[in-house]
Copies of this chain bind each other. A is one copy, B any other.
Amino acid sequence: MKHLLLASTSTVHGSSYLEYLKPAIERFFKGCKQLLFVPFARPGGITYEEYTANAANFFNSINIDVKGAHEFENPAKAVEWADGFFTGGGNTFLLLKTLYETGFFQAIDTAVNEGKPYMGTSAGSNVAGISIGTTNDMPICYPPTFKAFNWLPFNLNPHYLDPLPDSTHMGETRETRIKEFHQFNNQPVLGLREGSWLECHDDTITLKGHLTARWFIQGKEAAELDSGSII
């Protein structure tokens, strides 16, 4: 009885923070009054307070109260207080390491498996997959494992980018990197472009937004999934 909203990015070009997701968020968190924000990925080194204030600014506009995970004495109290969870983007290694070190990993995992809704953007979506092995982020710190929440039966690659046809750069394309991942890992990988998100209710996972997404299965050619696909 999991309820997940997992977006590639919090912000699409030319729009404000979470604006493009607002109707989806209002439906998803209907009945939810108190939201726990997980600021651990904190992009660019902003403080937990600043990052939480950003999120609160958005959610207050739809009448949802927000507290940051760092404001609670312990994860059990935070999770008990919350009707739902939102984990923002930033660095996935830092997010996963901090989730484990603080004990929030286990607490949130249990609550989500029991039905409290969870929303993630970017790094916050990445951790909903089997592992963080398909993150684009720099390994700025060393987590105790790459294993993630395992709520989805596959991995995510947020901010998915198609190869640039005219590029002279010799670094690997995103598709090449995901194929390398499949040399050593057998879970499928969903490349989620900016503007796409997944909604998961119980075991039904639906691709939302107007774009297609790129679906990688070990040993097969990558394929495009249409918006509205059930994965």
- A-side interface residues toward B, CB under 8 Å? 9, 11-14, 43-45, 90-91, 93-94, 132-142, 145-146, 159, 161, 168-172, 176-181, 183-185, 194
Given A140-B181, A141-B184, A170 and B159 touching (CB < 8 A)?
yes
Q: How far is the CA of A164 from the CA of B94 in the complex (A)?
A: 26
Whose C-beta in chain B lies nearest to the C-beta of A167? B13
Q: How far is the CA of A140 from the CA of B90 in the complex (A)?
A: 19
In the A-B complex, list the 4 residue pairs whose CB atoms are closest, starting with the nearest.
Answer: A13-B168, A45-B183, A159-B171, A138-B177
B138 touches A181 (CB 8 A): yes
B161 touches A171 (CB 8 A): yes
B135 touches A185 (CB 8 A): no
B138 touches A180 (CB 8 A): yes
Q: How far is the CA of A65 from the CA of B115 in the complex (A)?
A: 62
Q: Using Cβ atoms and an 8 Å threshold, which residues of chain B touch A43?
A: 172, 180
Contact of A12 among B135, B159, B170, B184 (CB under 8 A): B170
Contact of A44 among B9, B142, B180 (CB under 8 A): B180
Whose C-beta in chain B lies nearest to the C-beta of A164? B164
Contact of A139 among B91, B133, B172 (CB under 8 A): B133
Whose C-beta in chain B lies nearest to the C-beta of A143? B142
B159 touches A45 (CB 8 A): no
Q: How far is the CA of A91 from the CA of B183 in the complex (A)?
A: 11
Q: Using Cβ atoms and an 8 Å threshold, which residues of chain B touch A11?
A: 170
**Sampled A-B contacts (6; CB under 8 Å):** A11-B170, A44-B176, A45-B179, A134-B138, A140-B185, A142-B146
Closest chain-B Cβ to A219's Cβ sits at a distance in Å of 11
Q: Using Cβ atoms and an 8 Å threshold, which residues of chain B touch A91?
A: 180
Q: How far is the CA of A180 from the CA of B45 in the complex (A)?
A: 6
Q: Using Cβ atoms and an 8 Å threshold, which residues of chain B touch A180?
A: 43-45, 90-91, 94, 138, 140
Q: How far is the CA of A184 from the CA of B94 in the complex (A)?
A: 10
Contacts A9-B170, A91-B180, A161-B169 supplied; 14 other A-B pairs, CB < 8 Å: A11-B170, A14-B168, A43-B172, A94-B180, A133-B140, A135-B138, A135-B139, A138-B181, A139-B146, A140-B180, A140-B183, A159-B171, A169-B194, A170-B194
